[in-house]
Structure 1
Amino acid sequence: MAAMAARTCPPYAIGPGFAAARVMPALPHFHMAMMLLNREARETLHFALGGCSPIAEDEAVLLEIVGKVRIISSSRTLATLGMIMQEDAVAPLAAALAGVAECFTQAGLGLGLASRPRRAGKRSTNE
């Protein structure tokens, strides 16, 4: 958000952090998600400044979605995102967040439940 306020290209500003964490493939997905959240959210979302603890409530909701995007049913993900996003932005945001989760998982940096492989023959209660 600070990069946008300073009229700096956000991927350029956060790219070094993604490179250091070895998740550069996630950067376009993350950028798309943030752009959609900035332009298409039903109301203003609030984020804590980098390095701040605790995180803001809106951040927690998004992290929860990213952490579970691969294990909860598509309809539940879309319904949840529909509560915070304009209707036409829901599917693109879901795709961007799934891309972030997949890239982090492939780099061994899974976010919560997204990093856990599903057991064959077991269904999640969230489906």
Structure 2
Amino acid sequence: MALPVNHPFNEVVVDTTAASVVTAIAGVTRAPFRGRIVEVGTIIGSVVSTADATVTTSINATAITGGSFVITQSGSAIGDLDNAVPTAANNVVEGDLIKFVMSGSGTAGGHVYCYAVVRPA
């Protein structure tokens, strides 16, 4: 099977965990070096209940343009992957705070694995 994207060998995935998809729950991690975030995403650890959950991402409290996406409640299952490809405001320097914040009416979802793919500048 051919991969849809050829990733450079120097990309790094940084990750964190949020307790669930409940509003205001967040996951945070740090940028390991100067670069650009080329993808953000989540993998859910349990079925999402009640409603969809929106994930917004930011770097040092500045929203990443194109970095928001929805974790869909309908048909959700353990291991569902949701992601976004940022279009701007996605440059980082070493130590920058990368944050994933949940919002909406979703509940449960178990632990949410959050990740950002960082490509060195």
Structures share a fold, TM > 0.5?
A: no
TM-score by length of 1: 0.25
1 or 2, which has the higher helix percentage? 1
User: Which protein has greater RCO, CA pairs closer than 8 Å, 6+ apart?
Assistant: 2
1 or 2, which has the higher strand percentage? 2
Q: Which has the larger radius of gyration?
A: 1
TM-score by length of 2: 0.25
